[in-house]
Chains A and B, each alone.
Chain A
Amino acid sequence: MTDLAAISGSVNTIGYGLAAIGPGIGVALVFAAYIQASARQPESAGYNRTWLVLGFALVEALALFGLVLAFAVS
């Protein structure tokens, strides 16, 4: 039997793609909430920015774990 199609590479790439779904949605929620909050109450934008960065950083960490593990696990 002959191979009709074949790809080569690391399955880790797919794993990282899966790992990025959750943080992608999470980061979107964080920014959506920030935009909504500062649109409703523009004077709170400065105060919220700190928590925006904090929430963004905490959510993004998960995607970065995926990236690191994609390289670390072989």
Chain B
Amino acid sequence: MSGQLVAAGLPWPPSVEDFYPPDVAGPWVTKFTLMIWLAVGLLIIFFMATYRNPKLVPSKGQWMAESVYGLVRDNIAREQMGKDGIRFAPYFTVLFCFIVVTNLFGVVPGLQISPNSHIAFPIVLALVSYVMYLYIGARKHGLARYLKQSLILPGVPWPMHFLLIPIEFLQTFVVRPVTLAVRLFANMFAGHLILLVFTVGGFVMLASDNLFVQISSLAAFLMAIVMAFFEVLVALLQAYVFVTLTANYIGSSLADEH
């Protein structure tokens, strides 16, 4: 029986329903669409303001924007794709910043849920990467050669191909985009759930009629604060992982040999 730990008005235990805040105005204007537009607006304003008048000795804003771009270009694009990566660096930078900002909405007071905790948004981002690396591979090598290159491993005995071609097909065309989307989604989903468990759980414990349980709620609130910082780390890490994997996939499409 979990009935003894129920506080009035609080959803306990946390469930999937907690991920659907009420619509702001009709089904097309939800909290999530507003947050997406907010993220897009913030990024446009930030990069416009910092790059409108670039100087040789950068101002504070320009330095920040250049640091982000430099990080993505040197640590992600060049590391994963070599010299070819430089021309993709602007896209990766925008992708990285967009995911970081939308992920960080999960810990911003007032917003407190990341749009990426709904699978729809990561699916779109993963689809962009998916179409991108397929298109780039097909454009560089031609469709037939690209398929041959990504399906047929060189230097294996021919009967092994009956086993290897389906595995390679699954790996390149199914598992990659699915894991790309699910990884981002599940991390944000789990993060929001963890924060809900500790904060709502703290209030539920506080509403208990047992003094010991009431005092123990302090631990739950402390844990909620620790987990909020952990969520910031996860938000940055997942953005980095998403962009790194996208760069890796595009790089493997561009590669000449298997």
Contact = CB atoms under 8 A, between A and B. Distances in A.
B185 A68 contact: yes
Contacts, number: 40
B133 interface: no
Nearest to B185: A68
Given A56-B241, A58-B179, 13 more contacts: A8-B1, A50-B79, A53-B240, A53-B241, A54-B241, A64-B183, A65-B182, A65-B186, A67-B189, A67-B190, A68-B182, A68-B186, A68-B189
B57 interface: no
A65 B244 CA distance: 20
Contacts of B187: 64
- Describe A's contact surface by its main secondary structure: helix
B156 interface: no
Interface residues of B, number: 20
For the complex of A and B, list the 9 residue pairs with the smallest distance between their C-beta atoms, beginning with the closest: A64-B186, A57-B241, A61-B179, A50-B79, A68-B186, A61-B183, A67-B186, A67-B190, A64-B183
Interface residues of A, number: 14
B245 A57 contact: yes
A53 B244 contact: yes
A50 B75 contact: yes
Contacts of A8: 1-2
B236 to A, nearest CB: 11
A61 B244 CA distance: 15
A61 B241 CA distance: 11
B93 interface: no
A8 B179 CA distance: 32
A71 interface: yes
Interface in B153-191: 179, 182-183, 185-187, 189-190
Contacts of B245: 54, 57
Contact of A50 (B2, B186, B244): B244
Interface in B81-132: none
Interface string B183-202: 10111011000000000000
A65 B185 CA distance: 10
Contacts of B241: 53-54, 56-57
